Amino acid sequence: MGAMASQSYWAKRGVALASGRRMLGECPGLRPWHLRRLYAYFRRADKDDSDWISVLEFLMFFDVERSVFAVKAFTSMDADGDQRIDFPEFVRATWAYVSLSKAGLREFAFHLYDLDGSGSIERFEVEAMVHELYGSTWKSSRLARDTLRKLGGRSTKTLALSEFVDFAKSHPALLFPAFQLQRQLQKKLGGTRM
């Protein structure tokens, strides 16, 4: 019986790593040994052995607070929209997220909230982002309140990507939870160098 389960694991691993190798060219810095390590993490996260990770499994594995932002970040990793992450999506998404620079993370957050792809987001959408990033603690967070107050003082009702990036640079509290999520993933995965 144990040999049968072991064989199944190795067969699944072989298929998963073959699909992962196709991503080596599209994920800068990703090496074959990273894939083997990411597969081990993927298997640990996949608690029900279904060969895909649900939102709950993802959040629990990475010990991430269940905020709307975390769920949106997870959803953006789901390339085919089936509300679960298979191994290739896991590799692509986690590698990209842990490898993002500060500027890249600001752009990622902007695009999560630019739902119509117009290149700008409404001020109320940035306010929603703050609420979603900080979760239920946003009202008690001085950083979140100060950021919203400063944002409210702006004369324009929309923010283009460049304005958003400038605002996020000068008000780092805006994306503090996004950077915190990135650090949690990096810590769990051992950083981008793994």
Percent of the chain whose predicted confidence (pLDDT) is above 70:
91
Share of the chain above pLDDT 90, in %: 4
User: What pLDDT band is residue 153 in, cutting at 50, 70 and 90?
Assistant: low
The Cα 35–Cα 18 span in angstroms is 10
Helix, strand, coil percentages in the chain from 3-state DSSP, rounded to 5: 65, 5, 30
Helix and strand numbers, DSSP H then E, in the chain: 10, 2
pLDDT in tens, 7-21: 587 888 888 888 888
In the predicted structure, residue 144 carries a pLDDT above the cut 80: no
The predicted model scores a pTM of: 0.71
Rounded to whole angstroms, how far apart are CA atoms 164 and 157? 12
pLDDT value at position 1?
Answer: 45
